[in-house]
Structure 1
Amino acid sequence: MTTPPLAARVHRSGTVLAAAITLVAAAVWAAHHGVQAASYGDETGTRLAAVWAITFLILLSQTIMYHCERARRVSPRSRRQLDTLHVAVLLPVYNEDDGYLRLGLASFLAQTRKPDSVHVVDDGSTSGDYAQVRAWWERAAAEAGIATTWQRTPNQGKRHAQAAGVHASPTADVFITVDSDSCLAPNAIEEILLPFARARVQSVAGIVLATNHRANLLTRVTDLWFTTGQLTDRSALSAMGAVLVNSGPLAAYRAGVVRDNLDSYLNETFLGRPVRFSDDSLLTLYALLRGRTVQQPSAMVFTALPEKPSHFGRMYMRWMRGSTIRSIWRMRYLPLTGWAYWAHLLRWFQVALSAAVLGWLLAVEPFVYGRTPPASFLVVPFLIGWAQGLRYLGVIRSDERMRHRAVTWLLMPLAVIGSWTVLRVMRWYGAATCARTGWGTRQNGAEVSLAAAEAPAGSRVVLSDDDTLQIPLVKLLDPETETTLQIAVPVR
């Protein structure tokens, strides 16, 4: 028995909103109790109370905003108009694992709304030439009616690989950017196109989940942290049409956003050095300058997360350096009349405020004034983390029971401690070293593999003797019969 490929959806519930507000209220109470219980004196206590009031006002506002986000739905007439658009997928490849690449390409064939064209560009990979994958894909795409090109270019970086795909698709109306380890949910393309029914929408972000989220503790916590961030911070921005950063594994842009800015996209420099990362945030900035940028929470994609701390560290450092450069461009180019500009400033205000309060409570008060913060202060970040993490529990995956996701949700203290310590240090170090504009990962081959011996249970790719691709994406549990089902996508 076979089932549709790996899928997920976001479940909306008033219970989740009520629980989130309750936990936020509990955090407010704990902070207030901490200020009153501490022997800080009236002046310091008043200042701390004001700081906590501002912090929780921002938090409560964000909570309400991200619950206001809704997946876009359209009329039958608008859907017919969207069906006429030429949708081109841009897929750059560099030193990717064959298994993940096959997995992603097979997911294009299983789409409810197939792309009109797919443009694969091998950016001078040094770990192989993907000859078998290419032969299979070109044959399978032709049988599915998907126009495709496959180029191999000298290594110049992801942006140049994408540009080669843009040049190969001069009639495209929408470009969908994916990574070489992206595995789209069956309705991902259909769903990510729906917001374009509104003329002002210039880009759409998808929701990124982990394919290998159960590989180890690092991938579990990273999946929890990353998914929660998309469904809180980015969802709040989406409600205002001001998403600041799309994700590489799945995003869609009106073709003009990419074509009209291609020259500056390929030749961005910072302090005289070419910038090779932060490509998704730059495309999002171009889109923001033309109109609204939103997220479609019903468009899901699965990707491989780093399984080793060293790999995660290089990835996160690249993100932080890119974030610093992009912040400078946003301050320079975003109009003051748009919500995106002020949302960007508010984010930096929150970062600076939290760093200042943390430093004051943990360093100044104990060592200068000899006063130790009350234990109730330690409760606050975890209550906030669990409140926001309820959004993670709102994601229903076809390959995982809710109780298993609840176990991951309980790991939120690890994500909070990591973000307040290691990631905070890395953020500021990344900002200080943002002139280092190299990519930093996958230089010596794929760092995450989908080999049968290493992949999560049920996640492997096997090419049978009759050259039929069998892809057991995941093991599913039938909620009615309690039996285990395996996904298989056969492609001749």
Structure 2
Amino acid sequence: MAVDTSAAVPPPSAARPPVTEAVTAVRRPRALVLACAAGLGIVAVTLAAYGLRAWLTASGVAGGLAFWAWTPLAVLLLGQTVLYLCERPARAGEEGQKRLDALHVAVLMPVFNEDNGYLRASLASLLAQSRPPDSVHIVDDGSELSHRQVRRWWTQAAREHGLATSWQRTANHGKRHAQVLAARRCPDADILITVDSDAQLAPDALHEVLQPLADRRVQAVAGLVLARNNRNGLLSRITDLWYVTSQMVERASLSPLGGVMVASGSLAAYRADVLTDHTEGYLSETFMGRPVTFSDDSMLTLYALARGRVVQQPTAVVFTAMPENVGHHLRQYVRWMRGSSLRALWRVRYLPAHHPALLAQVLRWFQQLATTASLLWLLALHLRPGPAPSAVLLIVPLLLTCGQTLRYLVLRRSDQPLASQLATWALTPLAMLWSWAVLRPTRWYGALTCWKTGWGTRQAGAEVALASAATS
């Protein structure tokens, strides 16, 4: 039975309820860090090309085919570096800001078995926005955990802030169904913003994520997702390092082209008709006769790409909970890779041939195949009898990776000193080893089992808890 709590919202009172302490992240002066990253990348590519060529010449490996396979990778890396250095935060301008201010902005938040500490922090961050939403719509998708106390607190807090809201509880039908139910509560919305129930927004996140939408060509905007629990163990540090780097390198390189392929559900803004015009297809997607219940973010992004541009706004920052144990981490990664494989097929099928996201998808396939082949080749060289191969073949990938992960240091977080960020960046060799030895085989396993379209990580209880947050 759905229950609506949006009726008769009184004007805000002078006394507002306390909210969870805000966490912020801003860009450091970037010139030195970016120059170091770009310089190290160029040096690494040069070392790779000439070192590999010299080794091939000396060792007599057949015809230098590996060298010519490496050359496109080097060019791709350099092109990616140039593009991500071109990324700039969008600014609406005076007239554009007036148009944005006039839009009805609705937040959609599905909830399933969320830790109450994270859920309350997420909702509290919505109350603290410099550009508050016009409405917030929450759907509890049949949680087995009780969220009654948070719901009571939220209903009162939203009323005191003058914020229209609804909270529905339904049987468990999945995240897509919950998003559609939430969207139906705000039929007049111009912009729909997806926020995960464990995602705490920086105070200016909504203002920033809306800025690119002043350009009418932009259909969706991805926020920048950081780990809230990034110091809760070695695994959370490594995953935060990889996740932030991938957004600030790969996604940032696609943003100037309008071809961002996934807008993460932790914070993403869509023109409302991206969802409302495709509701039937969104809810009924199948693959090999099976209903698809994951990869919802990338499906919405695909709809947006088919209609126009999708960009990243690097100043729209949100903090989310990353897995803290290996089992949760691997289940999540398998689900992501299965979804990524399905969505790659859909991009090839539905995007026009000239679309930058389609080109990026083809290049990504090449990169994945080439790097996996290179890894297997390096492994074979070290396992074969005879002298060990040149050390440059092992040093070059590490240099490349360290050059890219320098982007992690561009952001200054209010909850983390520079020393802690440097400690995380120093884990790059371990993160690379984890990626090669664990995540790459997991990626291929996910791709080869993409016909298994169930969610795969929905547990009976919250897997990550915010110990410091009140749950009442």
Aligned to 1:326: 343
Distance 2:129 2:313 in 1: 17
**Identity over aligned residues, as a percent?**
53
In 2, are the aligned partners of 1:96 and 1:181 still within 8 Å (CA)? yes
From 323, 333, 339, the counterpart of 1:306: 323
Offset at residue 52 of structure 1 (A): 2.7
In 1, are the aligned partners of 2:202 and 2:317 still within 8 Å (CA)? yes
Are 1:162 and 2:171 matched, yes or no? no
Between 401-410 and 302-311, report the one with greater CA deviation: 401-410
State the Cα deviation string for residues 398-449 of structure 1 (Å, max 9, x = none).
1111121011111111111111221110011001111111112232210001
From 88, 107, 129, the counterpart of 1:70: 88
Can you give the 5+ residue segments of structure 1 that lack an aligned partner in the other structure? 453-459, 464-492
Distance 1:140 1:250 in 2: 22
Are 1:450 and 2:466 matched, yes or no? yes
Q: Per the alignment, in what secondary structure is the counterpart of residue 208 of structure 1?
A: strand
In 2, are the aligned partners of 1:40 and 1:371 still within 8 Å (CA)? no
Q: Per the alignment, in what secondary structure is the counterpart of residue 307 of structure 2?
A: coil
Q: Per the alignment, in what secondary structure is the counterpart of residue 209 of structure 1?
A: strand
Are 1:418 and 2:441 matched, yes or no? no
Can you give the 5+ residue segments of structure 2 that lack an aligned partner in the other structure? 1-18
From 420, 444, 448, the counterpart of 1:432: 448
Aligned to 2:11: none
State the Cα deviation string for residues 30-83 of structure 1 (Å, max 9, x = none).
322244145654563632332332211111110110010000012122111101
Letter of the 1:81 counterpart:
R
In 1, are the aligned partners of 2:135 and 2:165 still within 8 Å (CA)? yes
Distance 2:364 2:464 in 1: 32
Distance 2:256 2:408 in 1: 18
From 240, 243, 250, the counterpart of 1:223: 240
Q: Per the alignment, in what secondary structure is the counterpart of residue 421 of structure 1?
A: helix
Distance 1:381 1:247 in 2: 28
Give the 5 Å matches for 1:175-324: 175-324=192-341
TM-score (norm: length of structure 1): 0.89
From 51, 75, 78, the counterpart of 1:60: 78
Letter of the 1:18 counterpart:
A
Letter of the 2:232 counterpart:
A
Aligned to 1:121: 139
Distance 2:143 2:395 in 1: 48
Distance 1:202 1:79 in 2: 17
Distance 1:366 1:315 in 2: 32
Are 1:44 and 2:58 matched, yes or no? no
Aligned to 2:126: 108
Letter of the 2:133 counterpart:
P
Q: Per the alignment, in what secondary structure is the counterpart of residue 266 of structure 2?
A: coil
Distance 1:451 1:43 in 2: 56
Distance 2:335 2:58 in 1: 40
State the Cα deviation string for residues 283-333 of structure 1 (Å, max 9, x = none).
000000000000000000000110000000100000000011111111100
State the Cα deviation string for residues 368-418 of structure 1 (Å, max 9, x = none).
785642111111111111111111000110111112101111111111111
State the Cα deviation string for residues 263-293 of structure 1 (Å, max 9, x = none).
1001101111111100000000000000000
Letter of the 2:138 counterpart:
V
Between 167-176 and 395-404, report the one with greater CA deviation: 395-404
Letter of the 1:284 counterpart:
T
State the Cα deviation string for residues 237-268 of structure 1 (Å, max 9, x = none).
11110000111111010001010001100110
Give the 5 Å matches for 1:389-400: 389-400=405-416
Letter of the 2:23 counterpart:
L
In 1, are the aligned partners of 2:120 and 2:471 still within 8 Å (CA)? no
Letter of the 2:431 counterpart:
A
In 2, are the aligned partners of 1:211 and 1:305 still within 8 Å (CA)? yes
Are 1:461 and 2:470 matched, yes or no? yes
State the Cα deviation string for residues 209-259 of structure 1 (Å, max 9, x = none).
011000000000110010000000000011110000111111010001010
Aligned to 2:25: 8
